[in-house]
Amino acid sequence: MPPSPTLPDFDLVIFGGTGDLAKRKLLPALLQRFLAGQVGPGSRVIGAARDTLGAANYRQKVAESVAGPASDVPGDRLAEFLEIVDYVAVDVASDSGWADLKARLDARPDRVRIFYLAIGPGLFAPACERLHQYGLDGPLSRVVVEKPIGHDLASARQTNATLAAVFSEAQTFRIDHYLGKETVQNLIALRFGNALFEPLWNAARIDHVQITVAEELGLAGRAGYYDTAGALRDMVQNHMLQLLCFVAMEPPYSMDADVVRDEKLKVLRALRPIRGDDVRHYTVRGQYRRGVASSGAVPGYTDELGAEQSRTETFVAIRAEVANWRWAGVPFYLRTGKRLPQRVSEIVVSFQPVRHSLFGAAAGPLTPNKLIIRLQPDEGVRLGLMIKEPGPGGLRLRRTSLDMSFANAFAGQRQPDAYERLLMDVVRGNPTLFMRRDEVEAAWAWIDPILSAWAQDSEPPRPYTAGTWGPSAAIALVERDGRTWHEELEDLP
Ligand code: NAP
């Protein structure tokens, strides 16, 4: 990989600098970019939270939290990184600590300032208000927020209005870490950097698309948040609809951020609404019961939650349609859930069967081609093809795949984490891989009627056994169209 040029020095304040997101994702990503030379020694990373632990203790904590992913980092390089790390005790909900933060930032007024709001969404408003009150919202300032951006359209609009009251859209970066994954960017390269696929990328040649985001884990310590969200809000509204946009969008006329985001927005607006009685027909929601995972026996959702009952869905399957000229009639099946048999995120594009088979029954069945774009684990792209079974005798057909596992293709090269890419894009001021306000709201506008139909439905989510692929109704959702969910091990060698 060519070395990354060092970016101009910047200041990054992480509100919530002692939290889980900062420890697991942001600080390790910044360390990696520092080691790669992209973040220079003049930049500053300032943790900010209410805890009065002080800069030295904070550096110690940072060292501990980055030690796992970066255990092969030489001690002197880690020490150099820690020199750019600082800490200020700040309460975003009061005036405590703000004067101190302002003094440090104002010592370097001419550089890009990034405020990463790694705090609960209820604190976005007071944080933005104080950034404005203390004059920290100048033209070089940028704000970064994570999901959840609202829990429905009305609250998302409110959150966006809160941000917009202080920062312009160009200064606002809404992170969806799925978009920082190599494979998502590769989807763009694959579609628009090759002459092969684009002529086939339409309803005449593609039979259907499947997007699966499966988790093997259950609540994993996120019970409080998850029970108020559920799979539709947690996964579909953001990550999965964003993936769908990259599959379905028209070729943008340039890679300019707003040109790409305009095309994604059109896809979101073209999604056929699912509302009223259609919700039962085109969506399935489920909740896991106790079962068996690879780690052994696991409890059901309500047991894990410690509650008598809950109507929160831990699984959702949807038959979506993009109602436009290119995609009319092509189903986009979305499926996500917890406690499924394996952790896998992938997009499967299934092409139409060949129009006429030359081969007799003895040759075996002809399986339609599939393009499989895998986001995790083992990022890569595979193309399922039919070939002749090697050897003498009659012509028998066999399924095989053209396989490009990124780990193998680029052996020896580090696969950067999505946050590394996205954080550096914020520093550069490139919002292409971030969600624009109208995209977030268009996604909620599609999700809201599903949520309200579920809320009025007297039936609870359908149970499924932990360690299975969800309720049987999710299988029926696809099978009643004469199709099946893609199964990696069975479908391709
Ligand atoms: P967390 O572990 O609970 O950390 C919260 C952080 O906010 C702590 O550093 C806390 O420190 C700080 N904080 C709380 N109240 C504050 C206040 N009034 N002023 C200043 N700092 C305050 O939360 P998290 O998991 O890191 O999540 C942070 C945000 O990212 C949330 O919005 C979450 O939904 C989102 N998110 C997280 C993840 C993830 O992987 N963790 C993934 C996606 C989205 P003090 O208590 O010392 O102030």
Ligand 1 proximity of 16 Cβ (cutoff 6 Å): yes
Q: Closest Cα to atom 10, ligand 1: which residue? A: 16
Ligand 1 proximity of 239 Cβ (cutoff 6 Å): no
Say how many Å lie between the CA of residue 178 and the centre of ligand 1.
20
Say how many Å lie between the CA of residue 316 and the centre of ligand 1.
27
Say how many Å lie between the CA of residue 39 and the centre of ligand 1.
24
Say how many Å lie between the CA of residue 119 and the centre of ligand 1.
4
pLDDT per residue as tens digits for the range 233-247 = 999 999 999 999 999
Q: Closest Cα to atom 31, ligand 1: which residue? A: 120
pLDDT per residue as tens digits for the range 312-323 = 999 999 999 999
pLDDT per residue as tens digits for the range 33-85 = 999 999 999 999 999 999 999 999 999 999 998 876 556 788 889 999 999 99
Catalytic residue among 151, 208, 239, 486: 239
pLDDT per residue as tens digits for the range 332-370 = 999 999 999 999 999 999 999 998 888 888 888 889 999
* Candidate of 15, 20, 115 to mutate for ligand 1, largest count of ligand atoms within 8 Å of Cβ: 20
Say how many Å lie between the CA of residue 457 and the centre of ligand 1.
34
Say how many Å lie between the CA of residue 36 and the centre of ligand 1.
27
Ligand 1 atom nearest the C-alpha of 120 is 32
pLDDT per residue as tens digits for the range 95-136 = 999 999 999 999 999 999 999 999 999 999 999 999 999 999
Ligand 1 proximity of 21 Cβ (cutoff 6 Å): yes
Share of the chain above pLDDT 90, in %: 80
Q: Answer whether residue 489 shows pLDDT above 70.
A: no
Say how many Å lie between the CA of residue 325 and the centre of ligand 1.
43
Ligand 1 proximity of 119 Cβ (cutoff 6 Å): yes
The predicted pLDDT at position 300 comes to 96
Q: Closest Cα to atom 22, ligand 1: which residue? A: 49
Ligand 1 proximity of 92 Cβ (cutoff 6 Å): yes
pLDDT per residue as tens digits for the range 195-234 = 999 999 999 999 999 999 999 999 987 888 899 999 999 9
Full set of structural domains in the chain with CATH: 10-146 (3.40.50.720), 179-415+436-490 (3.30.360.10)
* Candidate of 21, 175, 177 to mutate for ligand 1, largest count of ligand atoms within 8 Å of Cβ: 21
Ligand 1 atom nearest the C-alpha of 121 is 32
Ligand 1 proximity of 486 Cβ (cutoff 6 Å): no
Q: Closest Cα to atom 42, ligand 1: which residue? A: 21
Ligand 1 atom nearest the C-alpha of 147 is 44
**Is 151 a catalytic site residue?**
no
Average confidence (pLDDT) over 452-461: 95
Q: Answer whether residue 490 shows pLDDT above 50.
A: no
Average confidence (pLDDT) over 415-426: 93
Q: Closest Cα to atom 39, ligand 1: which residue? A: 21
For residue 312, what are the contacts with CB-CB under 8 A and spacing of at least 6? 226, 227, 228, 229, 230, 287, 301, 461
pLDDT per residue as tens digits for the range 248-290 = 999 999 999 999 999 999 999 999 999 999 999 999 999 999 9
To the nearest whole number, what is the mean pLDDT of the chain?
A: 93
